[in-house]
Chains A and B, each alone.
Chain A
């Protein structure tokens, strides 16, 4: 079946512009995560949804970052007034909420954001 998809794959924004990054999780996956991956680093947690509820947003670096998942499927990560330090790959991951212990997080291909 289809995996996690993200769009756009690449985004160039001028400093100060707002951007919106989209994630389409695997159908039926309850949990959705956003991570930020700087060049040469491991992914860092940003925020987590279970269905439409945002259960953890402790990783969002500032109030310029906002995420939503209004219908419990597609999610959007919005960054307002982008800064150069926002340049990174933004990864989305989804996982099922399974009682048998299968909690693999499936990652999308990421959106590479470059702020100039």
Chain B
């Protein structure tokens, strides 16, 4: 089955700087890669996703890149703000997300004011 690894497990960034979180996956059949943000005690919420036919996607301060050959994808947050502090999870799925998600172990991002 699919295995998703995520690094780093914790990340502290000065407010205004950029943050990068990286994930690798094992199953070449995976074709959908969402990123979820989870604040303490809250539900995971989708912040951005990318499909395997696209190499990069951007939404304001957030971008995701995908390298299918190397089987890795990354989340980039620019101009970080205190409200970006949360745990971020990457995930992978076949069938463009209409099947189970396999999650990484999470990155706790702390923005230092």
Contact = CB atoms under 8 A, between A and B. Distances in A.
A110 interface: yes
Contact of B99 (A41, A44, A48, A106): A48
A42 B103 contact: yes
Contacts of B103: 42-44
B91 to A, nearest CB: 8
B85 to A, nearest CB: 16
Contact of A103 (B6, B32, B89): B32
A43 B89 contact: yes
A95 interface: yes
Contact of A43 (B44, B45, B46, B98): B44
Interface in A64-107: 91, 95, 97, 101, 103-107
B98 A109 contact: no
B102 interface: yes
Contacts of B72: none
A104 B89 contact: no
A25 interface: no
Interface string B27-60: 0000010101000001111100101000000000
Contacts of B36: 107
Contact of B102 (A31, A40, A45, A108): A45
Q: Kindly name the residue among B44, B46, B49, B99 whose own CB sees the greatest number of chain A CB atoms within 10 A.
A: B44
A59 B100 contact: yes
A32 B6 CA distance: 25
A45 B4 CA distance: 13
Interface of B: 6, 32, 34, 36, 42-46, 49, 51, 89, 91, 95-106
